[in-house]
Amino acid sequence: ESIAVDSGSKGVQAAKAGQIDLVIMDVGLPDVDGREAVRILRKNGFKAPIIMLTGHNTDSDTILGLESGANDYVTKPFRFAVLLARIRAQLRQH
């Protein structure tokens, strides 16, 4: 089962409300930077893997995403098969 939300605040609420096995978080959200939403999740004790998606592919963007608490950082455009493999790898480790 999957849950889709359209803002960082709704994502944080969904993660608090239910059993979430993995989060895919976009950096560019309408209400808050996705990295800030990840920081909030981690600050509140969220332990499941988080994969960040972004159109920014510089080293500094990757570092910021990972240091915010993300487990992985995927730049757009991406191949779906590669994203799926990364999801499976994160779930194996969790």
pLDDT at 94 (0 to 100): 85
Q: Residues 90, 22: contact at Cβ < 8 Å? A: yes
| Total count of domains within the chain | 1
Question: What domain range is 53 assigned to?
Answer: 8-93
Task: Tell me the pTM.
Answer: 0.92
Q: Output the domain CATH number for residue 30.
A: 3.40.50.2300
Distant-in-sequence, close-in-space partners of 15: CB < 8 Å, separation ≥ 6 = 23, 41, 46, 48
Whether 1 is covered by a domain: the verdict is: no
Whether 3 is covered by a domain: the verdict is: no
Whether 18 is covered by a domain: the verdict is: yes
Residue-wise pLDDT tens for the chain (94 aa)?
899 999 999 999 999 887 899 999 999 999 999 999 999 999 999 999 999 999 988 999 999 999 999 999 999 999 999 999 999 999 999 8
Whether 36 is covered by a domain: the verdict is: yes
